[in-house]
Amino acid sequence: MPELPEVETIVRGLKPRLEGVKISRLEVLEERTIQFDRALITEIITEQQISSVWRRAKVMIWDLQSGYSLLFHLKMTGQIIYQGADNFAGGHPTMSMAVGAKLPDNTTRTIFYFADNSKLFFNDQRKFGWIKLLPTAEVHSDSFLKTVGPEHDDTQSFTPQYLWSKARNRITPIKAILLDQTVVAGIGNIYADEALHLAKVHPARKASSLSKAETAALFNAIITVLKLGIEHGGTSFSNFVNADGEVGNYIKHARVFRREGQTCPVCGSVILKTRVAGRGTHYCPACQPPPRGFQA
DNA sequence: CACTTGACCTGTCCGC
DNA sequence: TGCGGACAGGTCAAGT
């Protein structure tokens, strides 16, 4: 489940390899992945140099010299795997043991071929991920990106006061607020649970029940876990691999996510799993006291 | 408008 | 062993 740190890791891996490189061909193996007019591929993408690789929320963006941009969303099971010429990427074998199989495989939806003989595979078991093509000037008005909230490191827009203003009048669980992409960009199920544990706030608490101090703690926790995730090269427990097909290792450092039945790293209590905002949710019953009336 | 639930997909796991 | 169902979880659409 690629969230912000995973996409950021991919972008950092691809940036030095793709900027300045030309796309020579696009091979589409799954039509639904390509959410733009196929007729535009040859006219607008082919032989167009990639001028910039960047990220907004969970979306990776390639700006092309043609004045168009490619947008990629990996949703839950998407993978971006770069394969350098001669099967080597940056001096390292392209595929790690954890990924193993040769490419393309039965989850490969699109293949990009570059003028320097490198390739990039867009793999996606569940076919929810997409690739769009937009004029670069319209990237920010994309149907998804136009509604997305501030980045976690945007110190001008993302502040404790801002988070407080988004939560104070809401009856919905605080976890739903964190998952709401219009509030803050890039948090998914993993980092929502991690941030709430770090802030010692139960996921099912009504957003409006949080004190200013708790909201400030949550604000700090969001920034901490996202930055930690980026430092560790993204989470990986099933489908996430970075641009070289290597697994990230944040999950080794997870505090509560997918650790039900194990002990809380803070107090040693047994971590529980429940369902909040329609998602599997992990928490420590001692560090994160449930609200009154909460049924696990 | 606020909030919840289902749909989109496919692979895995669990109980019978 | 096979089979049905729950589950995984990002976003959008439809429902209450």
One of A15, A170, A279, A290 is an active-site residue; which one?
A279
pLDDT in tens, A185-202: 999 999 999 999 999 999
Strand C-proximal protein residues, Cβ less than 7 Å = A 1-3, 57-59, 73, 75-76, 126, 128, 143-144, 147, 179, 181, 188-190, 273, 275, 279-280
Active site residue A47: no
pLDDT in tens, A242-271: 555 555 556 778 999 999 999 999 999 999
Q: pTM of the entire structure?
A: 0.92
- Per-residue HEC secondary structure of chain A comes to CCCHHHHHHHHHHHHHHHCCCEEEEEEECCHHHECCCCHHHHHHHCCEEEEEEEEECCEEEEEECCCEEEEEECCCCEEEEEECHHHEECCEECCCCCCCCCCCCCCEEEEEEECCCCEEEEEECCCCCEEEEEEHHHHHHCCCHHHCCCCCCCCCCCCHHHHHHHHCCCCCEHHHHHHCCCCCCCCCHHHHHHHHHHCCCCCCCEHHHCCHHHHHHHHHHHHHHHHHHHHCCCCCCCCCECCCCCECCHHHHCCCCCCCCCECCCCCCECEEEEECCEEEEECCCCCCCCCCCCC
- Closest protein CA to C1' of nucleotide B11, residue: A125
Q: Is the pLDDT of residue A232 over 50?
A: yes
Q: Is the pLDDT of residue A293 over 70?
A: yes
Mean pLDDT of A26-33: 95
Asked whether strand B has any atom less than 7 Å from the CB of A106, the reply is yes
